[in-house]
Amino acid sequence: MPSEFYPTKTSPTAPLSNPLSRRALMGGGLMLMAVPLSGCYSVGLHDQPDLPDETFDYASAYAAWPDGDYTWPAINYKSFDQKYWRQVVDYKSYEKPGTIIVDPYNNFLYWTLSRKKALRYGIGVGRAGFAWSGEALIRVKREHPIWRPPQEMIARKPSLGRYWEKGMEPGLKNPLGARAMDLWQGPKDTLFRIHGTNKPSSIGTKASSGCIRMWQQDVIDLFSRVPLRTKVIVLTKEQAEQHQTV
């Protein structure tokens, strides 16, 4: 069983969009409540990158990304609807700042900054993304994760069975991509994941398999912001319709 305290190391993050730091320094700790600071918000891990603003350099953020032994390919982000680009948006929520809210029906993941703002990412949703909804905690964070195909996928494609015992090694072909965050309910692994994807064109779509997919550069960014035990809410269709976004 995976450990709740899976070791991770510092990950590269997108270039700062402003030479002045926008985060509150907490002596290596966490700020658990979002507090406005000159129009910005501080929540999550203390060493995260600045939030994207009107001067954010998307070309650099979505450029080819060196990451240890791998370099993740650049994203042709301009070919996608701009709503799927990483950005701070108006978002009404009564959840505690720092909560992740996944809207699988509109292909968005929100990381709440306050009750009125959130950092939004575009996502791709697989069949598993519609098979489960509810609340969970991030109990395991994995850099360069090993991938084991679910038995249902092996049944459809028996050749994948060779990856069941030891898994597929990390790398550019790995379906989990650069990072994975595993969601647990108490002592139980939901088998639901937020992870990268080696198919960037699947963002904004209903993919044939997988859980919650993000561009590699975006999942690295989110990974650098959220601590273990971050609360994650996956919305039902009815809840998704009720949430107010701009």
Chain segment 181-218, per-residue pLDDT in tens? 999 999 998 888 999 999 999 999 887 665 899 999 99
pTM exceeds cut of 0.85: no
Asked whether residue 162 is domain-assigned, the answer is yes
Domain membership of residue 89 as a residue range: 30-242
* Angular region, 151: left φ>0, alpha ψ -120 to 50, beta rest: alpha
Asked whether residue 9 is domain-assigned, the answer is no
From the DSSP assignment, how many helices (H) and strands (E) are in the chain?
A: 5, 14
Q: Identify residue 135 by its one-letter amino acid code.
A: E
Residue 58 and residue 162: Cα distance in Å, rounded? 39
- Check pLDDT > 70 for residue 12: no
- Check pLDDT > 80 for residue 20: no
Closest CA to 126 of 95, 160, 101, 149: 149
Q: What's residue 16's pLDDT?
A: 35
Q: What's residue 127's pLDDT?
A: 65
The structure tokens 């509150």 sit at: 24
CATH number reported for the structural domain that contains residue 161 in this entry? 2.40.440.10
The top-scoring range by mean pLDDT among 14-28, 132-146, 230-244 is: 132-146
**64-78: per-residue pLDDT in tens?**
999 999 999 999 999
Asked whether residue 53 is domain-assigned, the answer is yes
Q: Residue 94: is it exposed, middle or buried by C-beta count within 10 angstroms (0-12/13-18/19+)?
A: exposed
- Check pLDDT > 90 for residue 79: yes
**112-131: per-residue pLDDT in tens?**
999 999 999 999 987 655 56
Q: What's residue 57's pLDDT?
A: 98
Asked whether residue 205 is domain-assigned, the answer is yes
Tokens of 144: 């360069």
Q: What's residue 73's pLDDT?
A: 98
Structurally, the chain folds into a number of domains equal to: 1
Tokens of 200: 């960037």
Asked whether residue 126 is domain-assigned, the answer is yes
Asked whether residue 14 is domain-assigned, the answer is no
Asked whether residue 2 is domain-assigned, the answer is no
- Check pLDDT > 90 for residue 180: yes
Asked whether residue 74 is domain-assigned, the answer is yes
